[in-house]
Structure 1
Amino acid sequence: MNQTDIKKQSLFALTWPIFIEILLHMLMGNADTLMLSQYSDSSVAAVGVSNQVISVIIVMFGFVAAGAGVLVAQNLGAGKQKTAGAIAVTSLSLNLWFSLLLSIALFVFSKQILKIMDLPAELMGEAGVYLNIVGGLIFVQALIMTVAAVLRSYGFTKDTMYVTIGMNVLNIIGNYTVIFGPFGFPVLGVEGVAYSTIISRFLGFTILLFLLLRRSEKTLPFASFFSYNKQDIRDLLNIGIPSAGEQLSYNASQMVITYFIAQLGTMALTTKVYVQNIMMFIFLFALAIGQGTQILIGHLIGAGEIDTAYKHGIKSLQISIVISTFAAIIIYFASDFLLGIFTDNATILEKGAALLLVTIILEPGRAFNLVVISSLRAAGDVRFPVFVGILSMWGVSVTFAWFFGLYLGLGLIGVWIAFITDEWLRGLLMLRRWRSKAWVKENFIKADS
């Protein structure tokens, strides 16, 4: 595979296609929310809670893609093309079988999962339909994530960006068709949106797989799809499981907090969904910078350029904090317009604007985590973020959300106070870890056999 020399690329060159790709992924989710908001506010809440469950499942099979991205980058940086190719194929195979099991579990136990979430009775029907369809076929998303991670690590960040553009166009066309029923097409609501999501993902995966085969120029060892190298598996698990553990802990804690918010009523739940959909457009900057930094640092670590990797991590963090803060301020001043796109409910508009105001404090803290944790992961230091993350997410975020939100009666503002405390505490601890350079000895490059 004729990958570019990543170490010679600027952070901007790596990051802007990733930024566009993440933006479009977010737009796909927001397209569902925006279009459904013209159909029913309760449908928005139902899909929002279902997506909360699906996001946890995505993290569970995301550990293979996370491990593959780091290992492929490190091995390419070390000039080990053969090992990188074998890891790419093995990761695709592992994620296929694992995600199929999770898809079946979601389909079979969807009602039980939603009951655990204490979802209001009026939302159960639509939430169940969406979870059955999108969750039951979620293995397609697992394959998309894996192929995309491999292509990005080889330097083909534009490929995944273009495919995401196509997926978004198809999804929006599909949503419009099933929600508004043009040309006599039946209005299918939440069920139709679910089918639109799945169809666009399936077509996207098909194109990504074609691009991977074309880019590989028949050099990928596809025998690794059925015959696994034990060391590759161990390395994937050693990086992937802790990496996914940190994200899984975050999403699971968010599910518990969503359970708290559900007790405040459908209005609070809907407000949370709208505000967090808007907030995605703030932290996507830090998310894209974090992913671009991870690719760059992975190659530098593989090549043994430790000091350069360290400096890139600090520089990326500084850029991310400035951009995230500026974006949060802009979003707040545009809050009336942005929230008005989704709803004209006065209560939601008022509460949503207040949440976006305190988000200005939240987002710089989140930038620490998104960038520094990505840097640590690229260096192979994956256990420390998980340990600190679990303690903070559950000991601070969940506990404070209950205390301030429910016990003290501050509602959604109390929940956002919990988010701020958690993000800043974890972020500062991650920065201290990066500065200590304890991660220098943690890379996973092995000698060729």
Structure 2
Amino acid sequence: MNKNKMSLGTLAWPIMIEMFLQFAIGTADTLMVSRISNDAVAVVGFANQFFNAVLIVFMLVASGAGILIAQRLGAGQQRDARVLGTMAIVITGALGIIVSITIFFGAGTFAEALNVPHEILPDADTYMTIVGSGMLLTALNAALSTCVRNTGDTRSPMYIAFGMNIFHVFLNACFIFGALGFPKWGLQGVALSTVIVRFLAVLVLLRLFRHAFGSKIAWSEFFKFKPKLLKEVIRIGWPMSLNGASWTISQLAIFSLIGIMGTHELAARTYMNTMESFAFTVGWSLAVAAQIQIAYMYGKDMRREAYYSCYRAMGAGMLLVTLNTGLMLVFRQPILQYFTDDPWIIDTAITLLWLNLILQPGKMLNMALGQSVNAIGDGRFSMMVSLPSMWILAFGLSYALGLSLDWGLYGVYVGMILDEYTRGIIMWFRWRNHRKAGKLADRIGAPAVDAKGAVQAGTM
């Protein structure tokens, strides 16, 4: 494999653009739906939080398989990498079918259980039923793109995301506003557009996946399982999946608390999610790129390079997310007024943007170190740290400060800030420990030697 293909910059920029484009789908939805009503925006925001929680179920296998694919390719074990990929797709697809059926019959029940405000409950039921029925497509999208990225090909998923965005906006214009003679379906049109675009993306990604491991993967290979490899996937994947599920469910629980505060607060948080995504995307893309690179280097026994890759990603990310948030603050008025003309929502969002100057660097610290630890198979420790922190600090303080003390959304942000920095600092000590006495210790700090036992110059 071309070494430059696994450089941090080569991996990161297509992921960054792809994620910007995917978040742009959500932004397009928010902008277009905001022309319907603030209630419709609240429906989309709440439903997307729910679907993000469901998505974590599909990552149980895909996340573990992705790391192992990069490690195996680094070690030159191409055949195992192929099997890991096909197993991940089949198992994730089966989970997607089960989840799609469950949501189709139970969308309204889920919405009620999550405290969706009564006035938007019918719309939430309709939207969640349509989009939830296509969760199989969401599952396959996530698994296919994860496997392809971990082969080092981060550009192709980016191109697919670009095509999805253009077509999604086109379909939104047709289905929401009745362009080109289509009926004006409103919120239902957004849901239909989402499902159609995801279906087309799966078709393209599946073709890409079958050519991602050298020779074309035959359909018969999707029925080949290696229990030993599957055991490794589950061992690495379950802590990451549980960690991700807990975080997403905690965010959904926080959204539920905000739903109790009122529709205005829910709409404001939805607008903020959309704006924050542009800072979050920069940091997350660097963290994902670092994970792929570190897993590849770890498999290739390049332990020293793997260790310092984490810090390169974290440093670049800190700078970029802070700059990104600063730009949003500079242009806060025109940005917010483009979303809504509600003065309460605008004033609240401006204050929350200032809090983001503190929040986003903490997120970057946590993401870079967390993904690095996962890349070398230490996801269980990350899970053990994250679960109590996100529930005690992020959710607990959101309830105590936001509801009990009536701080509203400001209390929610204080809880999130303390959670991100607490986890990030603990993971920093863990990563340093891997250099001294952990998985990287045997390769860090000791000079390399040649075949005759002589110390090689310039290795330290």
Percent identity of paired positions between Structure 1 and Structure 2 = 32
Aligned to 1:140: 137
**1:202 maps to amino acid:** F
**1:376 maps to amino acid:** V
Are 2:210 and 1:208 equivalent residues in the alignment? no
- The Cα offsets for residues 357-384 of structure 1, whole Å up to 9 and x where unpaired, read as 1110000000012111111111111101
* Counterpart-to-counterpart distance in 2, 1:439 and 1:161: 35
Are 2:178 and 1:172 equivalent residues in the alignment? no
* Counterpart-to-counterpart distance in 1, 2:180 and 2:324: 40
Structural RMSD (CA): 1.5
Return the offset for 1:397. 0.8
CA contact (8 A) 2:60 2:241 kept: yes
* Counterpart-to-counterpart distance in 2, 1:224 and 1:440: 33
Return the offset for 1:145. 1.3
Give runs of aligned pairs for residues 180-259 of structure 1, distance below 5 A. 180-216=177-213, 218-220=215-217, 222-259=219-256
Aligned to 2:157: 160
Of the three residues 32, 38, 41, the one matched with 1:44 is 41
* Counterpart-to-counterpart distance in 2, 1:87 and 1:218: 15
Return the offset for 1:221. 6.3
Runs of 4+ in 1 over 6 A off after TM superposition: none
Return the offset for 1:322. 1.5
CA contact (8 A) 1:73 1:154 kept: yes
Aligned to 1:284: 281
Give runs of aligned pairs for residues 212-361 of structure 1, distance below 5 A. 212-216=209-213, 218-220=215-217, 222-361=219-358
The 3-state SS of whatever aligns with 1:409 is coil
**2:206 maps to amino acid:** L
Q: TM-score by structure 2 length?
A: 0.93
Return the offset for 1:9. 4.0
Of the three residues 71, 75, 89, the one matched with 1:74 is 71
Of stretches 334-343 and 161-170 in structure 1, the one that deviates more from structure 2 is: 334-343
Which has the higher relative contact order, 1 or 2, with Cα contacts under 8 A spaced 6 or more apart? Answer: 1
**1:403 maps to amino acid:** A
Q: 1:232 to 1:7 in 2, by over 3 A?
A: farther
State how many pairs are aligned.
439
Return the offset for 1:7. 6.4
* Counterpart-to-counterpart distance in 2, 1:252 and 1:378: 23
Of stretches 224-233 and 404-413 in structure 1, the one that deviates more from structure 2 is: 224-233
Of the three residues 108, 114, 119, the one matched with 2:116 is 119
* Counterpart-to-counterpart distance in 1, 2:19 and 2:180: 33
Return the offset for 1:183. 3.4
Of the three residues 403, 406, 430, the one matched with 2:403 is 406
CA contact (8 A) 1:6 1:296 kept: no
CA contact (8 A) 2:78 2:213 kept: no
The 3-state SS of whatever aligns with 1:263 is helix
- Flag structure 2 segments of 5+ consecutive residues without an equivalent: 442-460
Return the offset for 1:42. 0.5
* Counterpart-to-counterpart distance in 2, 1:319 and 1:181: 44
Return the offset for 1:320. 1.0
The 3-state SS of whatever aligns with 1:440 is coil
* Counterpart-to-counterpart distance in 1, 2:154 and 2:297: 18
Aligned to 2:415: 418
Q: 1:427 to 1:217 in 2, by over 3 A?
A: closer
Are 2:379 and 1:389 equivalent residues in the alignment? no
CA contact (8 A) 2:151 2:212 kept: no
CA contact (8 A) 1:404 1:411 kept: yes
Return the offset for 1:162. 0.4
Return the offset for 1:65. 1.5
**1:110 maps to amino acid:** A
Q: 1:222 to 1:235 in 2, by over 3 A?
A: farther
CA contact (8 A) 1:118 1:262 kept: yes
- The Cα offsets for residues 179-217 of structure 1, whole Å up to 9 and x where unpaired, read as 111233211011110010010111011011112224445
- The Cα offsets for residues 280-323 of structure 1, whole Å up to 9 and x where unpaired, read as 00111110001111111111000111111001111211111111
- The Cα offsets for residues 358-413 of structure 1, whole Å up to 9 and x where unpaired, read as 11000000001211111111111110111111010001111100111111111101
* Counterpart-to-counterpart distance in 1, 2:25 and 2:315: 29
Of stretches 275-284 and 432-441 in structure 1, the one that deviates more from structure 2 is: 432-441
Aligned to 1:446: none
**2:174 maps to amino acid:** T
CA contact (8 A) 1:11 1:296 kept: yes
* Counterpart-to-counterpart distance in 2, 1:55 and 1:215: 27
* Counterpart-to-counterpart distance in 1, 2:165 and 2:104: 25
Aligned to 1:365: 362
CA contact (8 A) 2:211 2:217 kept: no
The 3-state SS of whatever aligns with 2:261 is coil
**2:160 maps to amino acid:** V
Of the three residues 77, 82, 86, the one matched with 1:85 is 82
The structure that has the greater radius of gyration is 2
Q: 1:237 to 1:281 in 2, by over 3 A?
A: same
Return the offset for 1:241. 1.3
The 3-state SS of whatever aligns with 1:183 is helix
The 3-state SS of whatever aligns with 1:39 is coil
The 3-state SS of whatever aligns with 2:184 is coil
Return the offset for 1:223. 4.0
The 3-state SS of whatever aligns with 1:352 is helix
* Counterpart-to-counterpart distance in 1, 2:179 and 2:190: 15
CA contact (8 A) 1:7 1:296 kept: no
CA contact (8 A) 1:86 1:221 kept: no
* Counterpart-to-counterpart distance in 2, 1:429 and 1:337: 39
- Flag structure 1 segments of 5+ consecutive residues without an equivalent: 443-449
CA contact (8 A) 2:42 2:267 kept: yes
CA contact (8 A) 2:58 2:143 kept: no
Return the offset for 1:329. 1.5
Q: 1:25 to 1:6 in 2, by over 3 A?
A: farther
Return the offset for 1:218. 3.8
CA contact (8 A) 2:307 2:440 kept: no
* Counterpart-to-counterpart distance in 2, 1:190 and 1:267: 19
Aligned to 2:444: none
CA contact (8 A) 1:271 1:351 kept: yes
Return the offset for 1:178. 1.3
CA contact (8 A) 1:90 1:224 kept: no
